[in-house]
Amino acid sequence: MALSDREYRKAFYQALNIQQGRSMLSEKDEYERFYVPIYADPDGPAGPDLVTEIINAIDFTTGGSVQLLSGYRGAGKTTELMRLRRQLDPERYVPVYWDVEDYFNTELPIDEGTFLVGLAAGFVDNCKDADLPQDKLRERIWDLLGRIDVDVDVNLKPTAGPVALDLRVALRDDESFRAKVKKALASNRAVFRREIHKFFEDVVAAMPGERTPVFIVDSIDHYRGRADTFDQVRESVESLFSVYADELALPGMHVVYTVPIYANPPAWRGQIWPVLNVKVREKDGSDCTEGIELLRKVLARRAPEEDPERLLDDQIDRVIRASGGLFRDLFRLVAGLLLKEGDLPVDKAEIESVERKERSTLAVGLSEEHWEILSDVQRTKQLRVPRERSALAWELQARGAVMCYRNGTVDWYGVHPLLAPLVADNSEQS
């Protein structure tokens, strides 16, 4: 029996799964149903298959390794991390996935000490596939805190259940606890590092079958703060991966950290893998037909009966162009149309309405200096700013207002397609 329009809208909306990432790939059938191999062509509009390269780097490295995965928020990093988790050899590796937003407020600067303690707690709470006794892991967490001279309130220390239920609250909301951790790191960094590493050495030694953990630490890329704190947040992220690079290299395991697109840790010596938007336009403004076709497949895979035309008719390419090639923005645009009432397919007025809404969201809070940078990017296809405006430029990238097309032989920047008309109007008024 054919779906009614409302049933079609509901099924398509749920399949888009705007949150993306973990929940989308938490079940095997969902992954097999929705995932589109956009990186199959190494010279294609999505760029090379970074998951394959990361796995090769893991396989080729004796002992442990540390790698960074950067990219725009909404470009599909978490989805690819879930694919990495699935494609690791289960006889050799134990993937452990941790989302730092479960523990930290990403609008505030990273505190190095609490982040390192969070690594230990996050690993313990997400290593269920390692077949390690949870009670002994909980004991090791509290022993670790004692060895670095961090007193733990008796009401904080649990007797059962995930350690995160209590440490998560302490790391996020307990200023006294965070201050103790910060003092412990500042007073004797060498001891702090030694004890953190000893904790992970003991955990690795207890792994059954001599499998090696691959610790996937996600959502550090969500650190960008607000307009007034952006500089502090950016500096804290870069400091973490420069000053504390040795601490972040956890012994006996492989670690993959996500980082914001703006992060360029000056002292980082390892690999940084970029996940960027799918190229849907060329430098001269013409369509990148291969990229548009890839995203057509993404929408078709999620649409009921693989029929996005029922919603969009001949306007699919328009919506894909408007997204700039970011999955997040593409899903938002289509989801916004699915929430409309009326007959299908939607008409152009409804598409314009959703585009206006997303355009307004992108433009909120942009200063005159932001608009000047956007105008220069639109004119030159490059992102070059004086040092005093670098924070503004990074902020525009973090928001997705400036996009980098670094696929194939092309390396250029562009203004998000929804903002481009406003940039042109602002330039004319100037």
Query: What residue ranges define each of the domains in the chain, with the CATH number in brackets?
Result: 5-16+279-362 (no CATH), 47-275 (3.40.50), 368-429 (no CATH)
What pLDDT shows up at residue 153?
61
Look up tokens 């972040």; give the residue.
Answer: 248
The pLDDT > 90 percentage for the chain reads: 42
Please confirm whether the linkage preceding 45 is cis (ω < 30° from 0).
no
Pick from 260-269, 278-287, 340-349: least confident: 260-269
Residue 270 has pLDDT above 80, yes or no: no
Please tell me the predicted confidence (pLDDT) of residue 24.
Answer: 43
pLDDT at 154 over 50: no
Element (H, E) at 254: strand 254-260
For residue 21, is pLDDT > 50? Answer: no
| Listed range (49-63, 105-119, 226-240) with the worst mean pLDDT | 226-240
CA 180 – CA 189 distance, rounded (Å) = 13
Q: Is 23 or 79 the better-scoring residue by pLDDT?
A: 79
Picking from 144, 153, 149, the residue whose alpha carbon sits closest to that of residue 176 is 153
Q: Rounded to whole angstroms, how far apart are CA atoms 11 and 85?
A: 27
Q: Above 90 in pLDDT, residue 375? A: yes
Distances (CA, A) of 250 to 223, 259, 270, 294: 22, 17, 14, 37
Q: How confident is the model at residue 259 (pLDDT cuts 50, 70, 90)?
A: confident
**pLDDT exceeds 80 at position 228:** no
**What pLDDT, on a 0 to 100 scale, did the predictor assign at position 293?**
95
Give dist(CA 378, CA 357) in Å, integer: 22
d(CA 265, CA 259): 10
Per-residue pLDDT, 164: 47
Q: What is the pLDDT of residue 222?
A: 81
In one letter, which amino acid is 162? Answer: P
Task: Report the chain's C-alpha Rg in angstroms.
Answer: 23
Q: Once rounded to an integer, what is the mean pLDDT over residues 57-66? A: 88
Closest by CA position to 257, among listed 5, 125, 71: 71
Beta strand 65-71 with 254-260: parallel, antiparallel or unpaired? parallel
Q: Give the integer Cα–Cα distance in Å for 406 and 19.
A: 25
| pLDDT at residue number 333 | 97
The answer to whether the beta carbons of residues 112 and 242 sit under 8 Å apart is: no
Q: Which residues, listed in sequence order, are joined to residue 97 by a DSSP beta bridge?
A: 216
Question: For strand 402-405 and strand 412-415, is the pairing parallel, antiparallel, or unpaired?
Answer: antiparallel
Task: Let me know if 162 is exposed, middle or buried by CB neighbors in 10 A (0-12, 13-18, 19+).
Answer: middle
E strand or H helix at 217: strand 212-218
Q: pLDDT tier at 417 (50, 70, 90 boundaries)? A: very high
**Residue 235 scores a pLDDT above 80:** yes
Q: Is the pTM for the entire model greater than 0.75?
A: yes
- pLDDT of 355 higher than 70: yes
Which range (63-67, 85-89, 172-176, 314-318) has the least confidence? 172-176
What confidence score (pLDDT) does residue 217 get? 94
Residue 38, classified by CB atoms within 10 Å of its CB into exposed (0-12), middle (13-18) or buried (19+), is buried
Distance CA 364, CA 144 (A): 45
Smallest CA-to-CA distance from 285 within 336, 321, 232 is with 321
Task: Band the pLDDT of 147: cuts 50, 70, 90.
Answer: confident
DSSP codes of every residue in 371-420: HHHHHHHHHHSS----GGGHHHHHHHHHHTSEEEE-STT--EEEE-TTTH
Q: HSE (CB half, 13 Å, CA atoms) of 408?
A: 17
| Three-state SS at 263 | coil
* Range among 94-103, 238-247, 270-279, 332-341 rated most confident: 332-341
Place of tokens 């250029």: 412
Mean of the per-residue pLDDT values for the chain?
A: 85
Q: What are the backbone dihedrals phi and psi of residue 404, each rounded to the nearest 5 degrees, phi first?
A: -105, 125
Q: Distance between CA atoms of 162 and 77, rounded to whole angstroms? A: 27
Output the pLDDT for position 18: 54
Q: Over 90: is that where the pLDDT of 380 sits?
A: yes
User: Residue type for 311, please?
Assistant: L
pLDDT in tens, 397-416: 888 899 988 765 667 899 99
Q: Classify residue 153 as exposed, middle or buried by CB count within 10 Å of its CB (0-12, 13-18, 19+).
A: exposed
Helices first, then strands: H and E counts in the chain: 19, 7
